[in-house]
Structure 1
């Protein structure tokens, strides 16, 4: 961000030293560099600049031997605008004007990015495998993940549950075994997806 440097109290009390001209092509800052005792500084843009530049406050207090930065917002312009920035210290005892020019922002360089037409549409998704293939994938997935002992134990538990349901011949036990079988089958199928 470009900075307009303004020296305060350098040569004498309330003295102002600033360049005659300053140019920016967007927001900039005013650095109020105080070389002496604390002071109050008033900043004001003339009518031309006031249309495109603004600051939060016009009066600024700058401590002894310190620097205070004042941010100036500048609108984007289509053609250069020139005006004056008025800098006042000592409650009007000393005034300095700086010719300020706000230029249009530099044209963006044409860094064209070429996008392949294949990326213009979402990729085609292959169809879901049939349920028989998903079940086979689930078994293979269990074996590949080292879950073969757990699968064998689960199968043994299901066989024992079915045998128990047939032996007891109870509707409640048969329904419970059916629920367990359904949940187990669903877990195996969902694990394959």
Structure 2
């Protein structure tokens, strides 16, 4: 099912029409008038059968050269429709009656029930958060400080006695804590 009926005005010359021969709708739809030539008046009318379930607000529409116009065909509450589909004709006229064409319209509330409704928001890409710091750069200070601590610990253990050995042991413990912190930051 399509939600719009495209009508070409003046595409093949002045006061010409190209109207689809058939159209099916489950409810309201839009008639898209596309004017390919000189400015024109287009007249739209629903026959008596279609008028039992639908209506057009205005019947006469002016369309500038090279422009398009959307005409809404509104429907009454589907619960008031007959049980069977409603069939009728949409009359489209240009050139003050010079060209007339008809589209066979079927209003069937069941025609759209087998279609899957897709949320239009799915067509838009998801927003990406602003660039966040890569995990390697987040842990880089921990790795540098841990390496310095290990170097100081090794130097202290090999160069001195007493206090130096204690500081070296603490530095080694600090390096171990840095390694644990790096592990948890990279997870």
User: TM class, shorter-chain normalised?
Assistant: 0.5 to 0.7
- For 2:93, the equivalent position in structure 1 comes to 88
- For 1:49, the equivalent position in structure 2 comes to 50
In the TM superposition, what are the counterparts of 1:1-80 in structure 2 within 5 Å? 2-75=3-76, 76=78, 77=81, 78-80=83-85
Q: Does 1:102 align with 2:103?
A: no
Task: State the secondary structure of the residue aligned to 2:96.
Answer: helix
In the TM superposition, what are the counterparts of 1:74-153 in structure 2 within 5 Å? 74-75=75-76, 76=78, 77=81, 78-105=83-110, 106=112
Q: Which runs of 5+ in 2 are unaligned?
A: 115-187
Change in CA separation of 1:23 and 1:107 when aligned onto 2, cut-off 3 Å: closer
Distance in structure 2 (CA, Å) of the matches to 1:19 and 1:55: 18
Compute the displacement of 1:6 (Å). Answer: 0.2
TM-score, structure 2 normalization:
0.55
Change in CA separation of 1:16 and 1:107 when aligned onto 2, cut-off 3 Å: closer
Compute the displacement of 1:22 (Å). Answer: 0.3
Runs of 4+ in 1 over 4 A off after TM superposition: 105-108
Q: Report Cα offsets for 1:140-171 as digits up to 9, x if no partner.
A: xxxxxxxxxxxxxxxxxxxxxxxxxxxxxxxx
Distance in structure 1 (CA, Å) of the matches to 2:59 and 2:75: 15
TM-score, structure 1 normalization:
0.54
Q: Which structure has the larger Rg?
A: 1
| 1:79–1:104 Cα contact (<8 Å) kept | no
> How many pairs does the alignment contain?
109
Q: CA RMSD in A?
A: 1.8
Compute the displacement of 1:12 (Å). Answer: 1.0
Distance in structure 2 (CA, Å) of the matches to 1:51 and 1:41: 23
Compute the displacement of 1:107 (Å). Answer: 5.3
Q: Which runs of 5+ in 1 are unaligned?
A: 109-193
Distance in structure 1 (CA, Å) of the matches to 2:40 and 2:17: 11
Task: State the secondary structure of the residue aligned to 2:109.
Answer: coil
| 1:23–1:100 Cα contact (<8 Å) kept | yes
